[in-house]
Structure 1
């Protein structure tokens, strides 16, 4: 599939072999590593995507992802976490570290292949799309690069926080109910509770400084990004 290179990192050697066989059958070039240490010895920047197990030896998948995101050469390499840890906090941790997707074990190989293709497709579309920037006074959002700046300084947002802010900035003045936010941001993720939406919005308000006050609660209706 367009000579995409994928790195599978998991301490279960049998699982690595199964994933490698099936992904190669789909036309991908695949390499495997049985630990984060082994993976980090490779030229990570040369891969188009990493399938990364969370629970490994001395260096966990989360730690490896953190290392990659801090390196300018590898910070944009897409990561899909493969893990038996599927609590809400674990999922949020994964996305906070910049994960592009999160697949809980046990999983079907068809699901993994489909998710890999979906992430690669999104990355390609983002690279080909013209730069799109949404600005409200000193708050700037680069849609393609998934970056937010506050008065010129970078703001670190989780994937969900970014998508919530994007929804608000692109629809300034419009009130969104919790159900609408759920359907647009979380889509088919069935584990989400109302409090999860509230917690994400509370964190988002704090991270965007003075503009946090623009995200207002309309009792009985939902949330809105008000224009001064």
Structure 2
């Protein structure tokens, strides 16, 4: 199962570790940055499904990061939850006015944070106007929930791993995904799996669907191209 990917920008290493453990148990994949600049770079290069953003960072104010994200069309709709020790009403109002979707004051319970993350991800899916876990474009339809793939009105049988790989590429289009990142998200970093295993599955998908459906980018990885 492909997991929602969260990015935490937070300079408190202890909090980072506790949230990674807690949210990992909820089947989220979580990346983190200890500085604002590094975190903003990650947002722009590999946009997460949701951002957890501390306001008090050593190099950049979290409000400035939020403003830059909202002004960038490529990531302007990214769900953002601000994490902060600032409990005053005017701080909350300012954060929400700058585009944060939610605002939670430290210390907070992990259970409450989980609920807010789930609510934001559900809302994003509803706002998109697209049925949850369904991709339909051109000649190809993929229903991740029903485990169905249809090409030119003909149902195509994929293995479970082939479907998860295809879905991960689809949901991250048009990004180029490295073998290491695919391995982490689709295979779960199993120690007995080599990155070349991904190449075998890509070849199988191309054979079952079409050679052009997945593009190889030399030295970088793969990306979904789709079928017109």
* Normalised TM-score (structure 1): 0.54
Describe how 1:11-26 pairs up with structure 2 within 5 A.
Answer: 11-26=11-26
Higher-RCO chain (CA-CA 8 Å, sequence separation at least 6) = 2
Distance 1:121 1:97, change over 3 A: same
CA distance in 2, matches of 1:6, 1:94: 20
Q: What's the secondary structure of 1:69's corresponding residue?
A: helix
User: How much has 1:58 moved relative to structure 2?
Assistant: 2.4
Structure 1 gaps of 5+ residues are 131-228
Distance (whole Å) between structure 2 residues aligned to residue 26 and residue 89 of structure 1: 33
Do the aligned partners of residues 100 and 9 (structure 1) sit closer, same or farther apart at CA in structure 2, a change above 3 Å counting?
same
How far apart are the structure 2 equivalents of 1:96 and 1:43? 20
Looking at structure 1, the residues matched to 5 and 73 of structure 2 have their Cα atoms a distance apart, in angstroms, of 19
Please give the residue correspondences for 1:114-129 in structure 2 after superposition, counting only pairs within 5 Å: 114-128=115-129
Equivalences for 1:29-44 in 2 at 5 Å?
29-44=29-44
| Counterpart position of 2:98 | 97
CA RMSD of aligned residues (A): 1.7
The CA deviation string for residues 138-197 of structure 1, in whole angstroms up to 9 with x for no partner, is: xxxxxxxxxxxxxxxxxxxxxxxxxxxxxxxxxxxxxxxxxxxxxxxxxxxxxxxxxxxx
Q: How far apart are 1:41 and its partner, in Å?
A: 2.3
CA distance in 2, matches of 1:58, 1:42: 15
Match of 1:6 in 2: 6
Aligned residue pairs total: 130
Cα drift, residue 100 of structure 1: 0.8
Q: TM-score, with normalisation over the residues of structure 2?
A: 0.54
**What aligned pairs does 1:37-186 form with structure 2 within 5 A after superposition?**
37-44=37-44, 46-128=47-129
Shift of 1:113: 0.8
Q: Provide the rounded CA distance (Å) in 1 between the counterparts of 2:111 and 2:43.
A: 28
Compare 40-49 and 22-31 and name the one that shifted more. 40-49
Distance 1:96 1:22, change over 3 A: same
Measured in 2, the distance between the counterparts of 1:122 and 1:24 equals 21
